[in-house]
């Protein structure tokens, strides 16, 4: 367990590093002005990889399939919400809302995994 502690600590600070790196990339390449991409839009895939690695380190299975199922259900929920609220489904609005909600969900699950990891180490 002692040899995996530095690796685990790296995964704890991984979201901060990725967020700052993504912010730098968005700023340097002016992705917000060109493609309307923001920092959370780039961060999501890295958070998914981090969730997979942390969940493998604290248990015998990965949380990745459950997270993918959750974001599929989130997509269905966003479609139903937009159909009810706007009486129309506009693909641009759907993907933007879906991806930003996926970011929030990924951050929340990542924090829960970090807390569970700290508890399991103690």
CB 22 within 8 A of CB 42: yes
Q: What single-letter DSSP state applies at residue 61? A: S
Q: How many domains does the chain have?
A: 1
pLDDT at 4 over 80: no
Full domain range(s) for residue 78 = 5-121
> Quick one: pLDDT at residue 3?
52
pLDDT tier, 112 (very low <50, low <70, confident <90, very high otherwise): very high
* Spatial separation of the C-alpha atoms in residues 88 and 56, rounded to whole Å: 41
- Cβ contacts of residue 30 below 8 Å, gap of 6+? none
Using one digit for the tens of pLDDT, what is the confidence trace for 42-91?
Answer: 999 999 999 999 999 888 899 999 999 999 999 999 999 999 999 999 99
> Quick one: pLDDT at residue 2?
45
pTM over 0.85: yes
Residue 114: HSE in the Cβ half-sphere, 13 Å Cα cutoff: 17
């Amino acid at each position: 367990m002692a040899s995996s502690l530095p690796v685990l600590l790296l995964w704890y600070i991984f979201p901060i590093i990725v967020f700052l790196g993504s912010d730098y990339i968005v700023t340097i390449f002016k992705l917000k002005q060109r493609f309307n991409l923001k920092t959370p839009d780039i961060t999501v895939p890295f958070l998914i990889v981090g969730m997979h690695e942390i969940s493998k380190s604290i248990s015998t299975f990965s949380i990745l399939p459950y997270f993918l199922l959750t974001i599929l259900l989130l997509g269905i929920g966003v479609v139903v919400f937009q159909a009810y609220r706007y009486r129309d489904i506009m693909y641009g609005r759907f993907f933007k809302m879906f991806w930003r909600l996926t970011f929030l969900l990924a951050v929340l699950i990542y924090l829960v995994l970090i807390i569970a990891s700290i508890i399991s180490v103690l």
